[in-house]
Amino acid sequence: MALRNITVKGDEILARKCKPVKEITPRIKEACADMVDTMKEADGVGIAAPQIGIMKRFFIAMPHVDAEDEETRDKIYYMINPEITYREGSQESSEGCLSVPGYMGLVDRPQKIRIKATDLDGEEHEYEFEGFEATVFCHEYDHLEGVLYSDIAKDMMTVEEYSERLEELKDLHSDDEPGDINEIWEARKNG
């Protein structure tokens, strides 16, 4: 297990466009293994190569946080040279980023995407994701383009403020009808 340092906002590496992976070398595989450890240690759901200082087009994601079975929850996608091939609809998502510690933002994302990528064995796959999962892949993909969610967010707040408002939202709703998470941002606009 090896943890890598996570690059944070302000480092110009995060604002640069990454270069395609020409060959899946042992170094790339090792970086991916370290990214898994680093992501899990930081409680993230994804991490992109530039976040550990590598200017290449790959990221990993573990997006099925709400899945019933453990195997699906633990599934990690290795996305080398990813391309978003289709976008449909729109959603507002509340996002955080390991490279923007202490903040949350409200971002417009497509509701549904298709994304193709090569895995660590060099095989190409095309996946379809909706909702939260689609958001995760768009967020990580943006890192490869030099874009942070905070560059495109419509609104931002600190994690403390977000947590407080999440508690308030829970108080307003029952467990059966938890309410829409984006009410957090509405409450702020109204208040």
Which residues does the annotation mark as catalytic?
Answer: 140
Residue 115's φ and ψ, nearest 5 degrees, are -140, 130
Rounded Cα distance, 156 and 177, in Å = 26
CB of 183 to Zn ion, least distance (A): 24
In terms of Cβ atoms closer than 10 Å to its own Cβ (0-12, 13-18, 19+), residue 184 is buried
Q: Which residues form the interface with Zn ion (CB under 5 A)?
A: 97
CB of 84 to Zn ion, least distance (A): 16
At 19 the three-state DSSP class reads strand
Given the complex with Zn ion, which of 101 and 179 has the nearer CB atom?
101
CB of 6 to Zn ion, least distance (A): 9
Given the complex with Zn ion, which of 104 and 169 has the nearer CB atom?
104
CB 94 within 8 A of CB 154: no
Given the complex with Zn ion, which of 84 and 183 has the nearer CB atom?
84
CB of 9 to Zn ion, least distance (A): 10
